[in-house]
Amino acid sequence: MANDGDSGASGKVGKADTTHVRAERDLVALGILIAAIILFIGTGSTVLTGIVRSWVYGVGGPDVLLANALILNIALLIFGWRRYVELKREIVERCKAEETAQRLAHTDALTGCLNRRSIDHAMAALVEGAEASGDVVVVMMIDLDKFKRSNDLHGHQVGDAVLVETARRIKALLPERAIVARLGGDEFICAAVFGPGSEIAIERLAVRINEALAHPVVSTGIRAEVTASIGIAIAPKTDQPDAERLAKTLLHRADLAMYQAKKAGRNRFCWFEPSMEKELRFRSEIERGIREGLPRGEFVPYYEKQIDLETGELTGFEMLARWQSPRHGVISPEFFIPVAEEIGLIAPLSEALITLALQDAKAWDPKLTLSVNISPLQLRDPWFAQRLLKLLVQANFPPTRLEIEITETCLHENIGVVRSLITSLKNQGIRISLDDFGTGYSSLAQLRTLPFDRIKIDRSFVSSLGRSADSATIIEAISSLGRGMDLPITAEGIETPEVLAALRKFGKFKGQGYLYGMPASGEDVLEELAGHGLLSEPDGAFLRPIPEGPDAPAAANC
């Protein structure tokens, strides 16, 4: 860094020296030009008169010294004029270069919109003008949905074309007093002035932008389709507004609303609400807690029983993640798993939990299996299978007792990578289960070509069994599919004896749910298994039926 600073300072000094030398040279040239003009006026008339008299009357002649001085004056005048022309051209070019530098400093080179550096000043000027006229400023944060995936699929040339066309379509829809900026990547900011009480007009504008951006962009024969999530924030009324601070507040609020639009399903707009600030603070706490809690061992596995519905025997457990936060207590994975995925910590978090679960499961009866859920992000890692096998080797845990559960949505992101990973794991003896079946879009062809060992019916269908005819129809269809493809089925979400009785009518299942007890910690599971004689023993162990419902042991409900 010191070298960079020195070279930068030297560059500035060198530039200043060059400018100083050039200025001195221009002053010398100007002095020479003025002297030449004076000499030309002083000697020109005398020399020219002598030349004319000599030509007309044939007598006398010009003074040789004065004639030479005149020729020198003419040469100096030509030199001065040429220098003047060059100087004028240099000034014009320098002005153009400065204008280009200013434009590049304040606009986005690709789209021609304002850039991140200039948006604050432009927003502040817009706010000041709106306050003076009694109007309000509305800010829209626009983020293209899944643009990175489209960019990776079609290439950067098509991605650039999408960004340019996005900017053009947004500009075409905005009112007269408006600005557009590209913050970088696929994020755009729009700010416009509206009259008071124009919420309906603002929403109509947002709808038109959503519709316009949803139209495909065709570039080099490739058709790219993207949508956009829009966050809207309107300037609050204040007695003494600080334009710059208000502009930053609007950008922040529009950003929060945009993320809310993405959470709500993308391709839509969302207004800022004060509750979003609280949600952001809570999310920041969650992020910080994950980063600090992971090395402290605050994330632990809990276990949910898996039962053979025909015999009532315990067949294994599914590992569920829990966060034992010192501040918030035990936190469910629905809160921290999505955050861990977004901040890039899902892989180390998952591997830490699997390591603990393998150590716990070693103490169980060898016939009990361990099921583990895998994040879709982990399936994108081509080295995931190798790292999982390394964990099994380190724990000395038999691969045949491990079952990996992947969700149905994973099959659409990269079917080639998923197929390779499943094959690699199965070759080592690990079983693969398709989780949440019925909620995605997997086809029969995928089920036939991917070597799954089991499918799991999503709990939303099971828990509503008996109350929803559609759920019964779906479960019956899945049951028939499982029998036809020789795939065992596990039903999640068994919470009442009525659901259990209805489920048994459709065939043989494994099941899990709160009817058999709430998810329990590793210590509680060991205590219960010890009571049933289901811990690992040198001469082997056996499976015993686990009572269902109210007759279940108290330890199961911890």
Choose between 370 and 283: higher pLDDT: 370
> What pLDDT shows up at residue 33?
63
Element (H, E) at 360: helix 346-361
Choose between 101 and 192: higher pLDDT: 192
Taking only the tens place, the pLDDT of each residue in 525-534 is 999 999 999 9
pLDDT at residue 244 is higher than 60: yes
> What pLDDT shows up at residue 50?
62
Nearest 5°: the CA angle 290, 292, 297 is 85
Express as a percent the part of the chain with pLDDT over 70.
79
> What pLDDT shows up at residue 124?
85
Taking only the tens place, the pLDDT of each residue in 136-193 is 899 999 999 988 878 877 888 899 999 999 999 999 999 988 999 998 889 999 999 9
Q: What span, in angstroms and rounded, lies between the C-alpha atoms of 202 and 499?
A: 49
Express as a percent the part of the chain with pLDDT over 90.
40
Strands 454-457 and 431-437: what pairing?
Answer: parallel
pLDDT at residue 327 is higher than 90: no
pLDDT band at 69 (very low <50, low <70, confident <90, very high): low
Query: 99: helix, coil or strand?
Result: helix
Q: Do 116-273 and 301-531 share a fold?
A: no
Q: If 0-12 CB within 10 Å is exposed, 13-18 middle and 19+ buried, where does residue 160 land?
A: middle
Choose between 428 and 41: higher pLDDT: 428
Q: If 0-12 CB within 10 Å is exposed, 13-18 middle and 19+ buried, where does residue 434 land?
A: buried
Render 394-434 in DSSP notation, one character per residue: HHT--GGGEEEEEEGGGGGT-HHHHHHHHHHHHHTT-EEEE
> What pLDDT shows up at residue 540?
39
DSSP symbol at 551: G
> What pLDDT shows up at residue 144?
94
> What pLDDT shows up at residue 541?
37
pLDDT at residue 85 is higher than 70: yes
Task: Name the region of 178 (left: φ>0; alpha: ψ -120 to 50; beta: rest).
Answer: beta
> What pLDDT shows up at residue 556?
32
**Token code pair at residue 340:** 């861990």
Residue pair 404/425 in contact (Cβ under 8 Å)? The answer is: yes
pLDDT band at 558 (very low <50, low <70, confident <90, very high): very low
Q: What span, in angstroms and rounded, lies between the C-alpha atoms of 277 and 255?
A: 11
> What pLDDT shows up at residue 14?
43
> What pLDDT shows up at residue 116?
83
Least confident of 172-181, 413-422, 464-473, 509-518: 413-422
Q: What average pLDDT does range 115-140 have in this prediction?
A: 86
Residue pair 516/535 in contact (Cβ under 8 Å)? The answer is: no
Q: If 0-12 CB within 10 Å is exposed, 13-18 middle and 19+ buried, where does residue 334 land?
A: exposed
Q: What average pLDDT does range 473-480 have in this prediction?
A: 88
pLDDT at residue 275 is higher than 50: yes
Choose between 509 and 29: higher pLDDT: 509
**The CATH number of 301-531 is which of 3.40.50.300, 1.20.140.150, 3.20.20.450, 3.40.50.720?**
3.20.20.450
pLDDT at residue 405 is higher than 70: yes
Strands 402-407 and 369-373: what pairing?
Answer: parallel
Q: How many CB atoms lie within 10 A of CB 262?
A: 16
Choose between 151 and 211: higher pLDDT: 211
Per-domain residue ranges for the chain?
14-106, 116-273, 301-531
Q: How far apart are the first and last CA of the chain?
A: 58
> What pLDDT shows up at residue 371?
97
What residues contact residue 423 under an 8 Å CB cut-off, 6+ apart?
451
* Of 346, 340, 322, 341, nearest in space to 332 by CA: 322
pLDDT at residue 544 is higher than 60: no
Nearest 5°: the CA angle 21, 25, 31 is 145
What residues contact residue 455 under an 8 Å CB cut-off, 6+ apart?
433, 434, 437, 447, 478, 481, 482, 487, 488, 489, 490
pLDDT at residue 386 is higher than 80: yes
> What pLDDT shows up at residue 549?
43
Which range of 93-107, 120-134, 240-254, 491-505 scores highest in mean pLDDT? It is 491-505
pLDDT at residue 199 is higher than 60: yes
Least confident of 98-102, 302-306, 465-469, 519-523: 98-102
Rg (CA), the chain: 39
* Of 271, 150, 171, 169, nearest in space to 212 by CA: 169
Residue pair 558/524 in contact (Cβ under 8 Å)? The answer is: yes
Taking only the tens place, the pLDDT of each residue in 297-312 is 999 999 999 999 989 9
Q: What average pLDDT does range 371-381 have in this prediction?
A: 89
> What pLDDT shows up at residue 6?
42
Residue pair 145/228 in contact (Cβ under 8 Å)? The answer is: yes
CA diameter of the chain = 144
Least confident of 430-439, 486-495, 499-508: 430-439
Taking only the tens place, the pLDDT of each residue in 279-292 is 888 888 899 999 99
> What pLDDT shows up at residue 24?
59
**The CATH number of 116-273 is which of 1.10.10.10, 3.20.20.70, 3.90.1150.10, 3.30.70.270?**
3.30.70.270
Residue pair 336/325 in contact (Cβ under 8 Å)? The answer is: no
